[in-house]
Chains A and B, each alone.
Chain A
Amino acid sequence: MEITHRRMNRVDLLEVAGRVDAATAPHLKQQIDNLFNEGRYRIVLDLANLEYISSPGLRVLIEARKRAREWKLTDLEGGDIRIANLPPRIKEVFDLTGFTSLFELYNDTVEAVGSF
């Protein structure tokens, strides 16, 4: 797994590539927690080069989205984890596990960043 971080004005973009399994999921969690600890709760995950994800990775995603959404700036503006460029194989895992309806999915990072 490889994570590339790009900081934008209001949003942080994390590009997650490679394999997210039980061995690597803790690193993804750490990276997201670091952003939370800095008070950065608006995160876009660019999954275009994600080859693989198993349940420990799914667990990180769901827990992170729950935490992000607890952060509210105003009634209208708050934290969230949004996903861009979900590859077809990973979409299949999302469909099987009901994750498709638990996340906001965007076709590209521009759309996802702009949604905040």
Chain B
Amino acid sequence: MDSITLTADLEALARISAFITAAAERAGLDERATWQVQLAVDEAATNVIQHAYDPEAPGDITLSWRSEGNQFIVTLRDFGRQFDPGSIPPPDLSSPLEERQAGGLGIYLITRLMDEVRFDFNPQGGNVLTMIKYIAPASGDDTLTFPVTGRVDAATAPQLSRAVHEEIARGARRVVLDLSGVSFLSSSGLRALLLIRKELMTLGGELRLAALQPQVREVFDLTGFTQVFAIHPGVAEARAAFGQGRA
């Protein structure tokens, strides 16, 4: 484990950024992941510098990192005011300019850029923010068949999103969702699939859906999403179609 302790003032930001960037490169993160970690750590440090201490008498901020298996683990510790992440409302990303709040993006960005984020506080140990980035394998097969089972509705869609997101973070880019075990798909489920598709497309990947049961297929037909998704009768056909367009 490697760490750096600095006075929590704005001058510390450039050094924190340089420290974590070098660390991420050493741990084998690719350029994009390194940059994401850099931004997440900078946001977290900015938060500490601006809110944890009295600006007239700033205390220390300690940044540490280690890698364990495929995880790059960063912790940021301060001994200032207790930070309650629940007190920060999530930003409304869809509101128009006039109504858009100018702040509140820092914590949101951290959670989007890192794969796991945890806030802990105790009076002796201070605030400890733990942020984990999964290290994607440098090369290898980026094709993944992911079986989905049961009902995909408002209650279960977030689990599906999270599970697939973790696979993408590990390097999956050409993803087949095997829907043969799905008995019911609601609009929340459709929305989750759209977001997965968008995430993959942003990364240059593809999402393909396979083996829809008739009642699930009907949801796609009724909503017009048959045109949006690449839908295949079976997993084998879906896997064979990668790189052939229409994803």
Residues on the B chain within 8 Å of A52, using CB: 17, 38-39
Known: A19-B14, A23-B10, A97-B105. A102 touches B42 (CB 8 A): no
Q: Beyond A95-B202, A97-B91, is A59–B14 a contact (Cβ under 8 Å)?
A: no
Stretch of A4-12, A32-40, A60-68, A105-113 with 4 or more beta carbons under 8 angstroms from chain B:
A60-68
- Is A58 engaged at the interface, CB distance under 8 Å to the other chain? yes
Give A50 Cβ to nearest chain B Cβ, in Å.
13
Q: Is B116 an interface residue (CB 8 A)?
A: no
Contact A66/B98 with A22-B10, A23-B11, A96-B112 known, Cβ cut-off 8 Å: yes
Cα A69 to Cα B96 with chains together (Å) = 13
Which chain A residues in 63-99 approach chain B with CB under 8 Å?
Answer: 63, 65-66, 69, 89, 93, 95-98
Closest to A53 in B: B39
User: Are A55 and B100 in contact, CB atoms less than 8 angstroms apart?
Assistant: no
Give the A-B contact count at a CB cut-off of 8 A: 63
| Interface residues of B, dominant DSSP | helix
Q: Answer whether residue B138 sits at the interface, using C-beta atoms and an 8 A cutoff.
A: no
* Inter-subunit contact A63/B102 (CB<8 Å): yes
- Which segment of B43-51, B59-67, B125-133, B156-164 sits at the interface? B43-51
Count residues of B near A (Cβ-Cβ below 8 Å).
29
What mask results when residues 66 to 105 of chain B are scored 1 for a CB within 8 Å of chain A, else 0? 0000000000000000000000000101101110101101
Residues of B192-226 contacting chain A, CB below 8 A: 202
In the complex, whether A15 has a CB less than 8 A from a CB of chain B is no
Q: Which residues of A contact B (CB under 8 A)?
A: 19, 21-23, 52, 54-56, 58-59, 62-63, 65-66, 69, 89, 93, 95-98, 102
